[in-house]
Chains A and B, each alone.
Chain A
Amino acid sequence: MSRLATKFAEFKKTGHKALIPFITAGDPSPEFTVPMMHAMVDAGVDIIELGVPFSDPMADGPVIQRASERALEHKMSLRRTLEIVSDFRNSNQDTPVVLMGYANPVEAMGYEDFSQSAQAAGVDGVLTVDLPPEEAYECATLLNAHNIDQIFLLAPNSTNDRIKKMDAVGSGFLYYVSVKGVTGACHLDTSDVQKKLIDIRANTQLPVGIGFGIKDAETAKVIAGLGDAVVVGSVLISKIEANLSAPDIAKQEIIELLKSMRFTMDNQD
């Protein structure tokens, strides 16, 4: 059983809702990332999503695009992202790490090489935005053989047939993109999410993480009431961007926000 599956099985028993922060590896500098990951774990997050910077992040809004550009200026790459995971694993063998990025860096490295290297580094899941199940078979098979989950996105317009398809090829959890749009979108409607979750639950037993547009503790609380995990990204990266000359302040603000989300998520009415 993968580290992700084990975690979600534990959470299910206790009713715990997972908090999953997303940061881009190497933003604002390569040295920032590993200490930030440890600090987020101390703040109570359950799983970490690490963005792999790419030159053409088509599914991302401006905030994560700029994070990608900053990281690339520091020559951050898929291989160096794996080194970051490896460093993190030196003192944390418990918190699952999911890589989120685009297909081409993985394709350039080769699926076999990537699967082996990712397993060696301690990666638990891989979410490739532009690799839908139609094209993911080879990659998913190799990742699974290396005990890594291939995680798929579900969208508001995904049909029941597609949910079943994700259920068949995906593992670990499914990531429900709660709005039609790019990351950092601002018009999340929780009643829409609630309706869609009924369809999703009817078609898969996999845990469901919900992300896109979650910016504050109150929304995190509502979303935690609907899904199994809450993913939060752009709002954290905005704090990095607002404090480029003072990364310690960014770190502090991120920790405070995650703690407040943790608190509201754990204290449902």
Chain B
Amino acid sequence: MTDTTNSYNMPDERGHFGPYGGLFIAETLIPAVEELDTAYQKHMTDPEFMAELDKDFQYYVGRPSPLYHAERWSHELGGAQIYLKREDLNHTGAHKINNTIGQILLAKRMGKTRIIAETGAGQHGVATATVCARLGLECVVYMGAVDIARQALNVYRMELLGAKVVSVTSGSKTLKDALNEAIRDWVTNVDNTFYIIGTAAGPAPYPAMVRDFQSIIGREARQQCLAQTGKLPDALVACIGGGSNAIGLFHPFINDAEVKMIGVEAAGDGLETGRHAAPLCAGRPGILHGNRTYLMEDDDGGIIETHSISAGLDYPGVGPEHSWLKDIGRAEYVSITDDEAIEGFHALTKMEGIIPALESSHAMAYTLKLAPTMQQDKILIVNLSGRGDKDMHTMAEREGIKI
């Protein structure tokens, strides 16, 4: 069905990707998202805004991030040539800053003085606290109590940067509950507050807006691949929690029908155990956090608790554009268990001297499976969305080492 994407132009004017996306929020927030949509439409076509964004990408984030040919690993696996898109080298250590830099520039132009965000692993929280520190804006980050315990380092980083980290103790005390609490804050303080959502999900225009800010990943990768190899890649691989690093890599290739796109979800203990975070592979469409998308839910429409070794993938929903790309068959979605992710983590660390984040390790683990099945003249771009420093504790603990 890839021919239907030749003129891919999603979402529609009401923020829908087919049946997905949309505007499923309380009435009090409608004026806020309308105001945001107006600002986003206006500034994304404003050369002055785009120049400021480009300048920040270059001098503050450190872009372009390299497209690195992992020659040793490619040789070892004996198949496709593996190229890593090095988002781990960005300031703050992950792709998250591409989006927070963009949204904070919008917030500034909209005259908002208070910034809120939700965070799971803490990477988005850190990326938000970072840009708030830079502009001197008040920053409140909501984080599940469970995640605060397992990502203490990032909590400390956010506090150093001047953010207030609020522990969320309702529900499952993880990312989805942090989102609920951020939405409650937003509805209460809607006049002066800008909500920086960390992934390509939520009410319109967030899914498209976050995608557009993250698409710098795919635009660079496409150019770099052409420059380095003279051709387009054969496949793209990226991990998916909410899916912002994946959509950022995929989107600029969407009309290149010959480029396969593969999103890797977290299978946790295994899809068959029910203890996972893979709504695209094992969930069904529903409505949560402002959009219609694939969700993990019970028969009554209650959201079920997810599990993944990686806090950043531990979320029961996914960005709505991925739901659409799955349904039209433009992208393929697979899953990787905790144990497999750890293999991927070690493989990249040992073969290339790069320690990936546990989220990105899911993409590495799928590369271990996929690359050997491809010819040696094929090109595989894998998004290395973040670095693994924040996961040292989790890994050491899992392997019985005290640090």
Say which residue of A55, A157, A177, A182 sits within 8 Å of B302 (CB atoms).
A55
Does B176 sit within 8 A of A, measured CB to CB? yes
| Contact (A109, B301) CB under 8 Å given A59-B187, A103-B24 | yes
A170 smallest CB distance to B (angstroms): 11
Residues of A close to B272: CB separation below 8 A: none
Residues of B close to A56: CB separation below 8 A: 171, 176-177, 180, 288-289, 303
Does A181 sit within 8 A of B, measured CB to CB? yes
Cα A185 to Cα B28 with chains together (Å): 14
Residues in A29-80 with C-beta less than 8 Å from chain B: 54-62, 65, 69, 72, 77-79
Residues in B268-303 with C-beta less than 8 Å from chain A: 285-290, 292, 295, 297, 299-303
- A107–B287 touching, CB < 8 Å: yes
In this complex, which of A60, A109, A130 has the most chain B Cβ atoms within 10 angstroms of its Cβ? A130
Residues of B close to A252: CB separation below 8 A: none
- A158–B300 touching, CB < 8 Å: no
Cα A135 to Cα B290 with chains together (Å): 11
Cα A21 to Cα B281 with chains together (Å): 42
- B27–A152 touching, CB < 8 Å: yes
Identify 7 residue pairs between A and B in the complex whose beta-carbon atoms are under 8 Å apart, listed by A's number: A56-B288, A79-B300, A106-B301, A155-B30, A180-B191, A181-B187, A181-B188
Question: Nearest B residue to A162 by beta-carbon distance?
Answer: B30
- B30–A158 touching, CB < 8 Å: yes
* Interface of chain B: mostly helix, strand, loop or mixed: mixed
Does B263 sit within 8 A of A, measured CB to CB? no
Residues of B close to A15: CB separation below 8 A: none
Cα A62 to Cα B320 with chains together (Å): 29
Residues of A close to B171: CB separation below 8 A: 55-56, 69
A residues near B (Cβ < 8 Å) are 54-62, 65, 69, 72, 77-79, 102-109, 129-132, 134-135, 152-159, 162, 177, 180-182, 185
B residues near A (Cβ < 8 Å) are 14, 22-28, 30-31, 170-171, 176-177, 179-180, 183-184, 187-191, 285-290, 292, 295, 297, 299-304
| Contact (A134, B190) CB under 8 Å given A129-B26, A157-B31, A180-B28 | no
B185 smallest CB distance to A (angstroms): 9
| Contact (A54, B302) CB under 8 Å given A135-B23, A157-B31 | yes
- A158–B302 touching, CB < 8 Å: no
Residues of B close to A61: CB separation below 8 A: 184
B27 smallest CB distance to A (angstroms): 4
Say which residue of B22, B28, B184, B303 sits within 8 Å of A135 (CB atoms).
B22
Question: Nearest A residue to B15 by beta-carbon distance?
Answer: A134
| Contact (A108, B26) CB under 8 Å given A61-B184, A103-B287 | no
Cα A42 to Cα B180 with chains together (Å): 37
Cα A228 to Cα B183 with chains together (Å): 30
Say which residue of B26, B188, B302, B303 sits within 8 Å of A130 (CB atoms).
B26
Question: Nearest A residue to B305 by beta-carbon distance?
Answer: A55
Cα A109 to Cα B180 with chains together (Å): 23
Residues of B close to A130: CB separation below 8 A: 24-26, 287, 290
- A59–B26 touching, CB < 8 Å: yes
- B31–A58 touching, CB < 8 Å: no
Question: Nearest B residue to A81 by beta-carbon distance?
Answer: B300
Cα A193 to Cα B172 with chains together (Å): 36
Question: Nearest B residue to A78 by beta-carbon distance?
Answer: B300
B344 smallest CB distance to A (angstroms): 31
B370 smallest CB distance to A (angstroms): 34
- A104–B288 touching, CB < 8 Å: yes
Residues of B close to A155: CB separation below 8 A: 26-28, 30-31
Question: Nearest B residue to A105 by beta-carbon distance?
Answer: B301
Say which residue of B23, B191, B286, B302 sits within 8 Å of A72 (CB atoms).
B302
The 8 closest A-B pairs by CB, nearest first: A108-B301, A105-B301, A77-B300, A155-B28, A181-B188, A103-B287, A104-B301, A55-B302
- B26–A104 touching, CB < 8 Å: no
- B28–A177 touching, CB < 8 Å: yes
B172 smallest CB distance to A (angstroms): 8
| Contact (A182, B288) CB under 8 Å given A56-B171, A59-B26, A104-B303 | no
Residues of A close to B288: CB separation below 8 A: 56, 104
Cα A185 to Cα B184 with chains together (Å): 11
